[in-house]
């Protein structure tokens, strides 16, 4: 109840301070794309994009590269925006392009949002196409309130001003059209208003949620939220927490880039797949599920698995799940799988320590004692990320 009330208070505060989001003028190159294809898409010339991004060889771009797209009909001069400008004691100017945002410009030039606003006597983040901005030198100091928070801890993801503190899904197996519930926390560590188009769960399979849209998270605030998504087709999907800084419409239609804020969590929907994709000496891992990927310390973590032996009789020391670096299971020990045998089983781990861990289904063909440290195990499933929480926090 305390957590829910806290979330509601934070959300009400955010709703009253949310700012409009401006379309992103930067395009992220997709795998296999060429500069000429991008130029045709945006109605500009290859040379215009190359000049705007200081690209010496128009035939050499890479997937994931961010490109500034100049307005159609403009002939931009080679700017210092394509790469981090050298330290300078002077100032320079930049003409705002359609879709630019003040935050994006500050990131391109490597200056703080507050310093950029102060240099142009701006009292808000609103700018307009064609406006000429004075870019302060990188050495410009900003008020203490604009200093970003401490760097993100190791193992978390930061995209733009937002840091993903955690992302949990309640299970990695659901039925078709059943709600998949997830929890997340993000913090603005980059300064400014942290405006975005969509902040929610995302899958490279084209699925995403709409937890927060066309909103903002001011520095140094955090947002704690719980939501769900329903998936209409059976399959196994990779999900992670993500943010899209373009307009909601572009984000919702996957016309703009989503940036990662968490590790990937694999979720199986509906029908059980024939195989997890892992086979060891003829033993196929058909499925591996963790029933409670989030649990309090002291509670058991339950898992289910199925394997099929497609080869000759397989003698093994241990067939079970393993919490990497923490504990190995003992579901089946010193046994064998006969040729053609199918084995389905349910088991659990007890008394795991507090933390976030990777768990997988594995098999070890040595003796049980030799399999005890987990180093000789062979994988039968992908990792499933689990989190064990301190119930007193």
In the chain, where are the structural domains located? Answer: 79-147, 157-269, 279-389
Q: With the C-alpha atoms ordered 28, 30, 35, 37, is the resulting torsion angle positive or negative?
A: negative
Which residue intervals of the chain are DSSP H helices?
2-17, 35-42, 46-52, 102-109, 113-119, 248-252
pLDDT at 29 over 80: no
Calculate mean pLDDT across residues 66-74.
Answer: 68
Paired with 340 in beta bridges are none
Instruction: List pLDDT tens digits, range 254-302.
Output: 888 899 998 888 788 876 566 777 899 999 998 888 887 888 899 899 9
pLDDT at residue 61, as a whole number: 73
Q: Are 157 and 262 in contact (CB under 8 A)?
A: yes
Instruction: List pLDDT tens digits, range 110-168.
Output: 777 778 877 877 766 666 656 778 888 765 543 333 333 344 444 478 999 999 988 88
Q: What percent of the chain is predicted at pLDDT more than 70?
A: 75
Calculate mean pLDDT across residues 28-44.
Answer: 72
Distances (CA, A) of 246 to 80, 101, 188, 224: 23, 10, 17, 22
CA 138, CA 110: separation in Å to the nearest integer?
Answer: 6
Poorest-pLDDT segment among 14-23, 328-337, 348-357, 378-387: 14-23
Q: Are 70 and 78 in contact (CB under 8 A)?
A: no
pLDDT at residue 88, as a whole number: 36
- Average pLDDT of the residues of the chain: 77
Calculate mean pLDDT across residues 19-28.
Answer: 45
pLDDT category, 350, cuts 50, 70, 90? very high
- Greater confidence (102 vs 260) lies with 260
pLDDT category, 367, cuts 50, 70, 90? very high
Instruction: List pLDDT tens digits, range 170-209.
Output: 777 787 888 888 989 999 998 888 999 999 999 988 899 9
Residue whose pair of structure tokens reads 């670096």 in the numeric block: 325
- Greater confidence (169 vs 209) lies with 209
pLDDT category, 73, cuts 50, 70, 90? low
CA 191, CA 145: separation in Å to the nearest integer?
Answer: 9
pLDDT at residue 17, as a whole number: 35
- Greater confidence (303 vs 115) lies with 303
Q: Kindly state the DSSP code that residue 64 receives in the 8-state scheme.
A: T
Class of domain 157-269: mainly beta
- Greater confidence (86 vs 27) lies with 27
pLDDT at 389 over 70: yes
At 295, is the secondary structure helix, strand, or coil? strand
pLDDT at 393 over 60: yes
Q: Do domains 79-147 and 279-389 have the same CATH topology?
A: no
pLDDT at residue 124, as a whole number: 60
In CATH, what number does 279-389 get?
A: 2.60.120.570
301-313 burial, b if ≥16 CB within 10 A, otherwise e? bebbbbbbbbeee
Calculate mean pLDDT across residues 302-326.
Answer: 93
Say if pTM beats, i.e. exceeds, 0.75: no
CA 246, CA 21: separation in Å to the nearest integer?
Answer: 7
Output the six-digit token pair for 122: 């701006």
pLDDT at residue 333, as a whole number: 95
pLDDT at residue 72, as a whole number: 61
Q: What percent of the chain is predicted at pLDDT more than 90?
A: 34
Q: 97, 100, 81, 105: which is closest to 130 by C-alpha?
A: 97
**Quick one: how far is CA 389 from the chain centroid?**
21
**The domain at 79-147 falls in which architecture?**
Roll (3.10)
pLDDT category, 243, cuts 50, 70, 90? very high
Q: Are 255 and 282 in contact (CB under 8 A)?
A: no
């Amino acid at each position: 109840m305390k957590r829910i009330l806290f979330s509601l208070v934070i959300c009400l505060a955010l709703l009253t301070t949310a700012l409009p989001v401006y379309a992103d003028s930067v395009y992220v190159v997709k795998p296999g794309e060429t500069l000429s294809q991008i130029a045709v898409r945006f109605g500009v010339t290859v040379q215009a994009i190359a000049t705007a991004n200081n690209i010496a060889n128009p035939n050499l771009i890479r997937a994931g590269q961010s490109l500034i797209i100049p307005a159609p009909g403009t002939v931009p001069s080679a700017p210092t925006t394509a790469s981090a400008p050298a330290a300078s004691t002077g100032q320079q100017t930049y003409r705002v392009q359609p879709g630019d945002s003040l935050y994006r410009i500050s990131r391109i030039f490597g200056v703080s949002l507050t310093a950029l606003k102060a240099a142009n006597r701006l009292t808000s983040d609103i700018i307009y196409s064609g406006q000429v901005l004075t870019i302060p030198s990188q050495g410009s100091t900003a008020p203490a309130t604009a200093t970003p928070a401490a760097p993100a801890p190791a193992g978390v993801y930061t995209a733009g001003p937002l840091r993903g503190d955690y992302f949990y899904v309640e299970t990695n197996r659901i039925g078709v059209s059943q709600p998949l519930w997830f929890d997340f926390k993000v913090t603005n560590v980059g300064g400014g208003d942290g405006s975005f188009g969509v902040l929610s769960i995302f899958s490279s399979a084209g699925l995403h949620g709409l937890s927060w849209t066309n909103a903002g998270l001011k520095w140094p605030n955090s947002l704690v939220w719980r939501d769900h998504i329903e998936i209409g087709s059976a399959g196994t999907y990779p999900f992670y927490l993500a943010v899209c800084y373009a307009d909601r419409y572009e984000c919702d239609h996957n016309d703009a880039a989503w940036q990662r804020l968490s590790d990937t969590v694999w979720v199986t929907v509906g029908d059980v797949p024939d195989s997890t994709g892992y086979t060891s000496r003829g033993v196929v891992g058909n499925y591996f599920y963790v029933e409670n990927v989030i649990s309090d310390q002291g509670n058991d973590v339950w898992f289910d698995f199925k394997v099929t032996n497609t080869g000759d009789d397989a003698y093994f020391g241990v067939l079970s799940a393993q919490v990497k670096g923490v504990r190995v299971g003992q579901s089946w020990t010193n046994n064998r799988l006969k040729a053609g045998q199918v084995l389905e089983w349910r088991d659990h781990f007890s008394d795991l320590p507090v933390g976030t861990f990777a768990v997988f289904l594995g098999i070890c063909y040595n003796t049980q004692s030799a399999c005890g440290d987990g180093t000789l195990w062979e994988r039968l499933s992908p990792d499933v990320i689990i989190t064990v929480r301190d119930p007193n926090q």
